[in-house]
Chain A
């Protein structure tokens, strides 16, 4: 579905992404792992249009989407969430969700004054949808709370909820589980699996929690120093010498040896 070809992103002399080539299959939940500074988030940022790549190509279903601005990508169904949850702090959780679908009729000056009824109908539908999403994420009770005041984990849920307000094709989740407790992480995992199954969303997930990766992701891609190191099922990745060297650590290697013995 998404093909990344020989992508480079350099910040001055620093090569954050240094020739990454990978492919993401439609309908998959791909895990993206790797040590800090491996270029995972930069890769996301380049794909999502936050940064223009230094060189290389990003293809979405055979269309070249390299360097398109984020709001264009949004219209093509490419969505992302942030490592550190972003929210419109001065709006309620419900309003945050209602902000999402673009192209609402209230956006033109004409309709603002003369299309009151159409806007009202649309807003009612949106409101119902937002409530449904909040229900799905088990945070209905926060609907009227200011989004700036809810907890970090709840903001993460809200981020996920934002992707549910439209029909996304592919969603990039940047450390959706960071700073989230186990129970909430399970809720997030369930939501991801359900969205994948019921709505056919494709996910790419950056995550450091191997249990979480193991539970929802197949395949897994490991990055290091701006390059793709290995790709395969979690078991294959875990057994890969290079990955152990770069990311999982020799502790795991020793443990596996002990187990083998």
Chain B
């Protein structure tokens, strides 16, 4: 009995909790991608670097706050800096829309042109972020490190295995829930949100119902900026901030959005968790869990790791390919590509 409990604790500590936190981050990122796809009708490759930009601003403001001696008690100071990051990112994306995307919208360009354009924006942001904060790892997490510590947990339960929940993991999940709830309320209950849905549903009809497209586009970018900054900051708090990692995040984020069904917000969230859980379970070394569950003589010698962690991006790819083969519109019905 004890063994089963220990196995569960190990499972929760190394698989469940990290996957839930990572899944929340991916879900928020994928929501941004899916909104751009739904309303503006293109795959925004610059999203990963938009996240990096937002996080960078949050880090800079956090450092400034720290130097002024401002803190947020046990919570990371970055949460206080978040609104500044969102505002700066909003200016950035709306600026890039006015300067770049609007031109192509007015000339009614093909989605593939938009995609390549977003690639260009991505490279510019890429350089901008590295130019301002540098290509290296930056740590900006402060405040209390843990909600539950391994030692405390062991003492409390008397189990051999410990369980830790990092503050950042707790914050990630809570923030994700709040943000998703707010977003769905906005999309379903407010006139602006409904306009966005209408625009995504049937652009011609939306225009002929008097919906101003520029306004819808403006609000979409505003929301995308907020989602990107929040997702980026949560990821940075949980792991660490490195511009290149954010660029790489594009793959699992797109995989999540496509797996869930592009253009479908609910799908983006589901997709985020599907990708996160697969990535973590496939790259986790199951030896410890199995040792607890099976009789002693059956205990495995190897790590029982399906793929080493270097291959974690391959997992996103694999799931992406499988879903596109079996159900091209994604798990939830999105727009087919």
A79 touches B208 (CB 8 A): yes
Is A150 among interface residues, defined by CB-CB distance under 8 A? no
In this assembly, does B194 line the interface, its C-beta being within 8 Å of a C-beta of chain A? yes
- Which residues of B are found within 8 Å of A91, using beta-carbon distances? 194, 197-198, 201
User: In the complex, A87→B186 CA distance in Å?
Assistant: 21
Complex CA gap A95/B191 in Å reads 11
Q: Are A99 and B208 in contact (CB under 8 A)?
A: no
Q: B192 near A107 (CB under 8 angstroms)?
A: yes
How far in angstroms is the closest Cβ of chain A from B189?
9
Per-residue CB contact flags for chain A residues 40-67 toward chain B (1 = under 8 Å, else 0) read: 0000000010100000000000000000
Closest residue of chain A to B219, judged by CB?
Answer: A109
Contact B212 A87 (CB under 8 A): no
A86-B202, A99-B198, A107-B195 known; A75-B190 Cβ under 8 A: no
A148: nearest chain-B partner, CB-CB: B201
Complex Cα–Cα for A91 and B222 (A): 24
B90-101 interface mask toward A, CB cutoff 8 Å, 1 = contact, 0 = none? 000000000000
Partner of B190, one of A50, A89, A106: A106
For A88, list chain B residues within 8 Å (CB): 197-198, 201-202, 205-206
Task: Check if B209 sits within 8 Å of A162, measured CB to CB.
Answer: yes
Cβ-defined contact, B209 with A90, below 8 A: no
Knowing A71-B210, A88-B198, A107-B215, say if A112 contacts B205 (CB, 8 Å). Answer: no
Is the contact region of chain B dominated by helix, strand, or loop, or is it mixed?
Answer: helix
Binding site for A on B (CB under 8 A): 186, 190-192, 194-195, 197-198, 201-202, 204-213, 215, 219, 222
Partner of B205, one of A87, A109, A166: A87
State in angstroms the CA–CA spacing of A71 and B190 once bound together: 20
Return the chain A residue nearest B195 by Cβ. A107
A99 touches B195 (CB 8 A): yes
Cβ-Cβ contact count across A and B, 8 Å cutoff: 77
A48, A69, A100, A119: the one within 8 Å of B209 (CB): A100
Give 1 or 0 for each of A69-91: 1 = CB within 8 Å of chain B CB.
11100110001101000111111
Tell me, yes or no, whether A104 is within 8 Å of chain B by CB: yes
Q: Are B208 and A119 in contact (CB under 8 A)?
A: no
The reply to whether A80 and B190 form a contact with Cβ atoms under 8 Å apart is no
Contacts of B194 in A (CB 8 A): 91, 95, 99
Q: Nearest A residue to B205 by beta-carbon distance?
A: A86
Q: Cβ of B210 and Cβ of A74 under 8 Å apart?
A: yes
A90 pairs with B192, CB closer than 8 A: no
- Count contacts on A: residues with CB < 8 A to the other chain: 32
A residues adjacent to B (C-beta < 8 A): 48, 50, 69-71, 74-75, 79-80, 82, 86-91, 95, 99-109, 112, 119, 162, 166
Asked if A112 meets B197 with Cβ closer than 8 Å, knowing A74-B209, A86-B205, the reply is no
- Residues on the A chain within 8 Å of B201, using CB: 88-91
New A-B pairs, 18, CB < 8 Å, besides A71-B210, A103-B210, A107-B192 = A48-B208, A71-B207, A75-B210, A82-B204, A82-B205, A86-B205, A88-B197, A88-B198, A88-B201, A91-B197, A99-B194, A100-B210, A102-B209, A102-B212, A104-B191, A106-B192, A109-B222, A166-B210
Residues on B with C-beta less than 8 A from A106 are 190-192
B190:A69 contact, CB within 8 angstroms: no
B202: contacting residue among A79, A87, A100, CB under 8 A: A87
Show 19 A/B contacts (Cβ-Cβ < 8 Å), sorted by A. Answer: A48-B208, A71-B210, A71-B213, A80-B208, A86-B202, A88-B201, A88-B202, A91-B194, A91-B198, A91-B201, A95-B194, A99-B194, A99-B198, A99-B211, A102-B212, A103-B210, A106-B192, A107-B191, A166-B210
The residue in chain B whose Cβ has the minimal distance to the Cβ of A85 is: B205
Name the 8 nearest CB pairs between A and B, nearest first: A106-B191, A102-B210, A74-B210, A70-B207, A86-B205, A88-B201, A112-B190, A104-B191
User: How many whole Å from A123's CB to the nearest CB in chain B?
Assistant: 8
A99 vs B202: C-alpha distance in the bound complex, in angstroms?
Answer: 12
A95 contact set on B, CB distance < 8 A: 194
